[in-house]
Each structure stands twice: as structure tokens, then as C-alpha cells.
A = this chain, B = another copy of it.
Amino acid sequence: MSSQTRHKGSNAERSRHRNRQAVLGEIHRAGAIGRAEIARALALTTQTVSNIISELCADRMLLEVGRRTVGRGLPAMQYALNPEGGYALGIEVRPDAVFAALLDMHGAPVTTARVALTDTHPDAVMGQVAGLYRDALTQVPAARSRMLGAGIVMPGPFGVTGISDQESDLSGWQEVDPKTIFEEAIKLPIVLSNDANAAAMAERINGVAQDINTFAYLYFGAGLGLGMVQGGQLIKGAFGNAGEIGHIPIPGGKLESALSRLSVQQHLQAAGKPVSDIETLEALFEARDPDLMIWLDVAVAALGHAIGIVENLLDPETVVLGGAMPDNLLDYMIAHVPLPEQSVANRPDNDRPRVQRGTSGRMTATLGAAALVLNSALTSHISPAL
């Protein structure tokens, strides 16, 4: 079944809804901003913005943060998002554990949690997920009445049986519709995504890509994923499986066999140095372990290749690197990656870094899951004016 891309018509009510979202997005972008300035940015009248803002204030979505004097004229009252105005739940399902995070309106995590997963069948997972949600609401009771929705990150690819790695596969999920069962388990609007897309959204809501509308996120999960954002919207593909960059063949095999957590683990395992967690990997790198450095040599070459593909295909403002790798390793890779000359990003006047590290941490994808929800609350879903 292909992605249903049927546009809907517009009416007054839907206009209001979009304008509300656009106002929220503008405030998010600016941090604190006055009504007249919002009106100019959105090509609306101050009156309209005023109406919307008084509504949002009544809903406790906004806070007045004092007047700011810029030049002449009446100083504008500044408004900012009320962090407690809305919450988004992020859930990440991995084969061995489920992560949860509750984000406030600023995109800051207010609770995080993790439970081990012994049974990966849908019913068992739903039980854990419902429990995590319950716990989060217990810790932050104020969120109960202000939930915007939940983002779910699961191992993909979806609907593909041909090439899935057994390792990353969850059993018993073939015949269920994830969105439906999650909606039943936690009564919230659900957004489903893969880890790389979620990570990209995390960067956009609260990270290095905050003002960047078109960028790519190379994500180290079990394999190698790619989240692409063009004009503030994720590129999902026809079946939601866009960004499977790990499968792409490169001279020595497929990309993720040289560039992934699994790859480094296997390499070190073969060298008699089994590594199961990131801390060990971090320590090995601190010690400049020769076997790890050998892997890195191959990995940065593959990374250069991957960046070339992404830059030439998407022409992004920047490529963000992150995921299940220690920061020092990511920084090393960024410092030593051979950036391809044959790339549309290799332009003389390009002052932005072509590659940068994302806000790190193992929770990136979980936070990103919630960020998907925040993003849809903060963007108006109207294509930019031409």
C-alpha cells in the first residue's frame, strides 16, 4: 500500500488550526517574540496573531515574558512557549529493551526510563509500554491532561521480509499493525518512525539543526540509518523506508558492514576484544587501541563515501552524525573523514561545516520519537511560499 498523499481542502477552521501551529512554530524558533513580528513573518495581520495568542495564553501554551524595547514605538510584549504547556511521549522499542522519555514543550526531557525486554511479542511490549507511560504520568501528573501525542521508534524496515537482519527483527510483529496496537495501549495520537528519522527530528527541535530546514542525519544504530529532512519535513519514502543507507554497496561490501556499531563490535570480537557497551568502546578509543584504530581507518573511508552519497543526492545544508557511538569516536571520525571533492557541498563559499556531531547520548532516538510529535505541533504543514 502506497503512502496516501491526498490533499485536503481548506476552510476557516483548518486555517485557524494551521495558523495556530505556525504561530507556535514561530515562537519556538525565536524563543521569545512579539505579536507584530510574528504577524510579519507569517504574512498575517497583528490582529489575527493577537487573537490566536490570547487563545494560546488562555490554553496556557504561552507565557508573557515582559516587554522588549527595540527602537521607537510601543515596546512589544514578548511571548515564549510555556514548557509545561504540552508534553510528548517518546518510546523506543529495541529487541532487548524499551526506552521512554517525556518531553516538555521546549523539547527538554522531564522523565526518562528504561525496561529490559525479555519477550518481544507485541502483547508483552504493549504491557511494558503502557507501564512506562503510566510511570511517566505518575512522575509528572501535570502532563496527564496536556499530552500532545506519542512517537514510537521501532526497528525497520517496515513491510520488508526480504532483507531484514534477524538480529534487529522483532518476532510476532509481522501480522499486527503497530500503529493500531500502540494506539490501543496508550490512548494517544501515534507517530511511527525509524530511529534515524527520529534522531533527525531531535536535532531539529532541540539540537544542532535547530535553524536548519534541509539536512541529513547519519545514525549509528545496530546498522547505519539515514534521516533526511527537506524543508522541515522528513523524507519518508513511499513505504516509510527511505534512508536505508546501510544497505548500499561500497567497494568492500555493504556500507553498514564497515560503518556501524555491529561492525566495530564484530571487528573487535575477532581481535579477541569483545565490546558490549559504549563505555568500553570509549575507553578503548581513549587508549588508542590499535585494533580499534584499524577499524576506524576503514570506517572513516566508508563514512566519506556515505557523506558523498548523501550530499550529492539531498544537497543538505549539513550532515549530522550521531547515535550509538561514543562522542570521542564520532569527533575523531568527523575530524578524519575524507570529505569527497566530487560533491555539491564542496563549494567555495560554504562556510557551514559539512559534517557535525549531533547532540549525543544513547537516548537520541527516544527523544527524537517525542520530537516527532512536537514537530508536528509546531509546524503548519503548508508548503513554503514559492
Task: Spell out A's residues near B (CB within 8 Å).
Answer: 2-12, 14-15, 18-19, 22, 25, 41-44, 48, 157, 159-163, 191, 212-215, 226, 228, 230-233, 235-245, 247-249, 251, 254, 305, 308-309, 312-317, 340-344, 346-349, 376, 379-386
Contact = CB atoms under 8 A, between A and B. Distances in A.
Copies of this chain: 2
A39 to B, nearest CB: 8
Contact of A19 (B9, B42, B212): B9
Contacts of A233: 383
A42 B237 CA distance: 23
Contacts of A383: 7, 233, 381-383
Contact of A239 (B22, B43, B344): B344
Given A44-B11, A249-B340, A376-B386, A214 B232 contact: no
B226 A161 contact: no
A213 B5 CA distance: 7
A228 B382 CA distance: 20
Contacts of A245: 312-313
Given A15-B11, A230-B235, A315 B348 contact: no
Contacts of A254: 342
Contacts of A214: 2-3, 5, 237-238
Contacts of A314: 235, 237, 242
Contacts of A342: 163, 247-249, 254
B25 A18 contact: no
A348 to B, nearest CB: 6
20 contacts: A3-B214, A5-B214, A6-B385, A9-B15, A10-B14, A10-B15, A10-B19, A10-B382, A163-B343, A214-B237, A230-B242, A237-B314, A238-B317, A242-B313, A243-B312, A243-B313, A244-B312, A247-B312, A247-B342, A247-B343
A251 B343 CA distance: 17
Task: Give the 6 A-B CB pairs with smallest separation, nearest first.
Answer: A237-B315, A381-B383, A214-B238, A10-B15, A9-B42, A9-B44
B313 A313 contact: yes
| Residue in A10, A241, A346 whose Cβ sees the most chain B Cβ within 10 Å | A10
Contacts of A3: 213-214, 231, 384
Contact of A348 (B15, B162, B240, B384): B162
B313 A244 contact: yes
Given A237-B230, A312-B244, A25 B7 contact: yes
Contacts of A231: 3, 5
Given A15-B15, A230-B237, A243-B312, 16 more contacts: A5-B214, A5-B384, A9-B42, A9-B48, A10-B382, A12-B12, A161-B347, A162-B348, A163-B342, A233-B383, A235-B235, A235-B314, A238-B317, A240-B315, A248-B313, A381-B382
Nearest to A39: B9
